[in-house]
């Protein structure tokens, strides 16, 4: 029970380090690949969880600790997850149509701005706004999803 944990476990920390580097590269690859939005989110989060587990198990030695780790970490983890879950139904996935003022105004002004953008395609002053129409469109899609 009272054995010294310092010397008994030999982890090849360097290999864990390379796994972590590989996982980081992998999450960038998933971002670049032409996957659906949901697939990207799931894959990137899965990689993040794998990295987190590597760090916790080997760098933080949780793999070699006694059962006290569950007593200590389970309640806080449950409480931590509870907060976003509690907020999700109303704030995260609202049952009502958003009436945020900036959204309404954007809708009204967007058409005008889009036209302007089209007309002045060659003008240097407009080149810094390439993402704007796409953004507004994707947000419209998102609103429709809800």
Partner 1 sequence: MSHTAQPSALKMGIPIPNSKLGMWLFLGTEIMFFTAFIGAYIVLRLGSPGWPGDPADTHINVLLGGINTFVLIVSSYCVVVAHEAMALRRFGRARTFLKVTLALAFVFLGIKSVEYYGKFAHDILPGHIPETPTQAIHKADRELEAVVRKRFAEYVSSGAVVTAQPNDIKTLATQIEAVADGGADGADKDAVESMKASVAGDIKLYRAYMNLHDHMVANISLKHPASGQEYTDARAAMKEGESFPPLTLAEVKTELNVLKADGEFGAAVSKGVFEPHPILFGNLFASTYFLMTGFHAIHVIVGMILFAAAIRQGSNLNEKWTDWVENSGLYWHFVDLVWIFLFPMLYIMNF
Q: How far apart are CA 25 and CA 110, in angstroms?
A: 37
Token pair in block for residue 72: 């200590």
Number of residues that bind partner 1 (CB under 8 A): 77
Closest CA to 64 of 13, 11, 17, 19: 11
Binder among 12, 95, 100, 121 for partner 1 (CB under 8 A): 100
Contacts with partner 1 in 60-99 (CB under 8 A)? 60, 65-66, 68-69, 72-73, 75-77, 79-81, 83-84, 87-88, 91-94, 98
Closest CA to 19 of 51, 43, 58: 51
Residue burial 98-126, b: 16+ Cβ < 10 Å; e: rest: eeeeeeeebeeebeeeeeeeeeeeeeeee
Binder among 33, 39, 42, 143 for partner 1 (CB under 8 A): 143
Task: For partner 1, give the closer residue by CB, 45 or 63.
Answer: 45
Residue 109 engages partner 1 in binding (rule: CB under 8 A): yes
Residue 135 engages partner 1 in binding (rule: CB under 8 A): yes
What is the closest distance, in whole angstroms, from the C-beta atom of residue 21 to partner 1 in the complex? Answer: 6
Residue 48 engages partner 1 in binding (rule: CB under 8 A): yes
């Amino acid at each position: 029970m009272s054995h010294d944990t310092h010397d008994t476990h030999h982890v090849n920390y360097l290999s864990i380090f390379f796994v972590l580097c590989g996982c980081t590269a992998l999450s960038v690859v998933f971002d670049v690949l032409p996957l659906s939005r949901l697939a990207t989110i799931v894959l990137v989060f899965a990689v993040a969880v794998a990295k987190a587990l590597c760090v916790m198990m080997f760098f933080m030695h949780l793999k070699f600790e006694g059962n006290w780790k569950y007593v200590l970490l389970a309640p806080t983890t449950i409480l931590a997850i509870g907060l976003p879950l509690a907020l999700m139904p109303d704030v995260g996935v609202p049952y009502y149509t958003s009436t945020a003022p900036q959204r309404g105004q954007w809708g009204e002004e967007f058409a005008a701005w889009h036209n302007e953008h089209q007309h002045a395609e060659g003008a240097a002053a407009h080149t810094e706004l390439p993402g704007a129409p796409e953004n507004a469109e994707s947000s419209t899609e998102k609103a429709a999803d809800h």
